[in-house]
Copies of this chain bind each other. A is one copy, B any other.
């Protein structure tokens, strides 16, 4: 955990990425609190797709928790009028989750806040920003 050598440039880069992202956790929690959401509720709102309904089990997969946990999270979101459960045509066991209009608006506002890059990146030179973007693009090729 300490400064253990950092053998490769990738390892040091990874440590720096973690340092960049670390504060994001508190930012996420603060944002959830601001909108009176629990962190998993915010995660669920973020994970739902405005363009396509998502099955309960699919959401469980995205959030990395059990189906039974999703039931409670969605219960509260639905009670608040942010999400709707709808039957699925192709399989009557499945329930599809759709954002209500209010849910979509909230999700939009949340998204804007989460998308804003932290000042460490925003204050890099435009040249560095582009280089960083290009390297990260290559990382996913």
User: Which residues from B are CB-within-8-Å of A133?
Assistant: 9-10, 12-13, 16
User: Which residues from B are CB-within-8-Å of A108?
Assistant: 1
A121 and B10 contacting across the interface, CB-CB below 8 Å: yes
Chain B CB within 10 Å — which of A10, A26, A115 has the most? A10
B117 and A16 contacting across the interface, CB-CB below 8 Å: no
Choose one: B10, B120, B122; the contact of A124 (CB below 8 Å).
B10
**A20 proximal to B (CB < 8 A):** yes
Q: Mark A101-141, 1 if CB is under 8 A from B, else 0.
A: 00000011011001111101111101011111101111110
User: Which residues from B are CB-within-8-Å of A140?
Assistant: 16, 19, 120
Choose one: B110, B136, B138; the contact of A17 (CB below 8 Å).
B136
B124 and A135 contacting across the interface, CB-CB below 8 Å: yes
B64 and A111 contacting across the interface, CB-CB below 8 Å: no
Given A10-B117, A117-B10, A118-B14 in contact, is the A2-B50 Cβ separation under 8 Å? yes
Choose one: B13, B64, B126, B128; the contact of A121 (CB below 8 Å).
B13
**A73 proximal to B (CB < 8 A):** no
